[in-house]
Amino acid sequence: MRKDDLRVTVDIANTQSPYDRTLAAEFPILPPTPYASTIVGVGTASSATSFSQQDLLDTFAISDPKIRSVFLNSAIRRRFLELPLPAPDGTPALETQADLLDRHKRLAVDMGRRALQACLDDVGATIADIRHLCCVTSTGFLTPGLSALLIRELGIDRHCSRTDIVGMGCNAGLNALNVVSSWSVANPGELAVVLCTEACSAAYVLDSTMRTAVVNSLFGDGAAALAVVGRPAGDSVGAPGGPRILKFASCIIPDAIDAMRYDWDSTQNRFSFFLDPQIPYVVGAHAEIVADRLLANTGLHRSDIAHWLVHSGGKKVIDAVAVNLGLNRHDVRHTTGVLRDYGNVSSGSFIFSYERLQQERVTVPGDYGVLMTMGPGSTIETALIQW
């Protein structure tokens, strides 16, 4: 695919409402706040077994050349998945929706517990320090929610404040970070955690069609956690370690509201994920709009952003975002690295990339970063951070 195929010109001036332009005029810089939410720790976890794309083609005996091409040209080397047990003939056994929901609950709790503990270890905190727990998942439905199950499983204080975000898809991690950031500013000094845990192998439909092949070739199991604390704004400016969270911006694309969806398929008698082939172009065409809205009123330009952490939504999605934002391969190295080693782990993907950036130890106080995710709606979520 040529880069020109991914480049979509959007008249940004005409996409801003008069209200947007009024805001820009009234607030030329970010207003001062007494407290700022700061990311202070990160942790990730996966399910037990990883597979190459060729492993999966062999396991499911996929011979259709078009479907094999989708798997083998995905820029994914391995993914963590829990596959169905083999039937007597050696092929993967059929599973009911109830089987898949059971798997989601078991994997979500197990991976979530390990990612949460890794995050606490990174902070130097304990279970007893958690004051707010915000859990995110879209690959299964739980009532009571994952937060309640983990509070019981881990012995977290029963009075811990909690939120469950369900069904917002791959962008939900940033929706959760927005909630937790506000909670932290209102409760300075208290430890809050965003926990994204997605058992994508509990959301698969195996019917040998191209529709399901696009999904089955992409997603992997994974959980990721971010710890956030509200600190006096002056204390966290340019401080070493984790970045301050400065601002969020969102964009929904109503014309593409059905282009990404996870809903009931009556022919399969289970939930099924659908990705429209045009999604990369739709996301790429709107990436500039939301990025420029995020940077509006800050005095910053895209060239001022030192670190870009984009959702690992798939090879074409990453290419489309990079081309439209003018990013190079180094800018999206963690995004493509996570896709290569884990596949698309949905809501926690950007946290996997953030963990890799922190492990590089290349950030310096004052650096700006942009977090960007995209998901059903179709929607794009962004956050501006500063080390």
Structure tokens belonging to residue 235: 């204390």
Which carries the bigger pLDDT value, residue 32 or residue 28?
Answer: 32
Which whole-number Å values give the CA distances from 110 to 199, 337, 348, in the listed order? 10, 24, 15
CA atoms within 13 A on the CB side of 144: 8
The predicted pLDDT at position 16 comes to 45
User: For residue range 193-206, what is the model confidence (pLDDT) as tens digits?
Assistant: 999 999 999 988 87
Which whole-number Å values give the CA distances from 228 to 127, 135, 207, 238, 383, in the listed order? 14, 14, 42, 16, 14
The band of 27, judged by pLDDT with boundaries at 50, 70 and 90, is: very low
pTM as predicted: 0.90
- What's the start-to-end Cα distance of the chain, in Å? 36
Mean residue pLDDT across the chain:
89
User: What's the mean pLDDT in 6-26?
Assistant: 43
The predicted pLDDT at position 17 comes to 47
User: What's the mean pLDDT in 263-282?
Assistant: 86
Q: Are 6 and 319 in contact (CB under 8 A)?
A: yes
User: For residue range 274-303, what is the model confidence (pLDDT) as tens digits?
Assistant: 888 888 889 999 999 999 999 999 999 999
User: For residue range 228-245, what is the model confidence (pLDDT) as tens digits?
Assistant: 999 887 765 555 679 999
In the residue annotation, 170 being an active-site residue is answered as: yes
Which carries the bigger pLDDT value, residue 234 or residue 46?
Answer: 46
Structure tokens belonging to residue 174: 């940033």
The predicted pLDDT at position 8 comes to 42
The band of 29, judged by pLDDT with boundaries at 50, 70 and 90, is: low
- Is a pLDDT exceeding 80 seen at residue 3? no
List the single range of 1-15, 32-46, 338-352 with lowest mean pLDDT: 1-15
Which carries the bigger pLDDT value, residue 295 or residue 10?
Answer: 295
The predicted pLDDT at position 338 comes to 98
The predicted pLDDT at position 15 comes to 44
- Is a pLDDT exceeding 60 seen at residue 28? no
User: For residue range 369-387, what is the model confidence (pLDDT) as tens digits?
Assistant: 999 999 998 999 999 999 9
Structure tokens belonging to residue 77: 């080397």
User: For residue range 323-334, what is the model confidence (pLDDT) as tens digits?
Assistant: 999 999 999 999
The band of 1, judged by pLDDT with boundaries at 50, 70 and 90, is: very low
CA 241, distance to chain mean position in Å, is 22
Structure tokens belonging to residue 10: 């959007």
The predicted pLDDT at position 32 comes to 67
The band of 356, judged by pLDDT with boundaries at 50, 70 and 90, is: very high
Which carries the bigger pLDDT value, residue 257 or residue 355?
Answer: 355
The predicted pLDDT at position 66 comes to 93
Neighbours of 32 (CB within 10 A): 8
Cα 282 from Cα 191, distance rounded (Å)? 37
The predicted pLDDT at position 87 comes to 80
- Of the residues 119, 134, 170, 251, only one is catalytic, namely 170
- Is a pLDDT exceeding 60 seen at residue 267? yes
The predicted pLDDT at position 12 comes to 37
User: For residue range 62-80, what is the model confidence (pLDDT) as tens digits?
Assistant: 899 999 999 999 999 999 9
Cα 162 from Cα 180, distance rounded (Å)? 10
> 3-state class of 29 per DSSP?
coil
User: For residue range 142-170, what is the model confidence (pLDDT) as tens digits?
Assistant: 899 999 999 999 999 999 999 999 999 99
The band of 309, judged by pLDDT with boundaries at 50, 70 and 90, is: very high
Which carries the bigger pLDDT value, residue 185 or residue 89?
Answer: 185
Q: What residue type is assigned to position 170 of the chain?
A: C
The predicted pLDDT at position 26 comes to 43
The percentage of residues in the chain with a pLDDT greater than 70, rounded to a whole number, is 90
The predicted pLDDT at position 30 comes to 63
Please give the backbone phi and psi of residue 172, each rounded to the nearest 5 degrees, phi first.
Answer: -65, -20
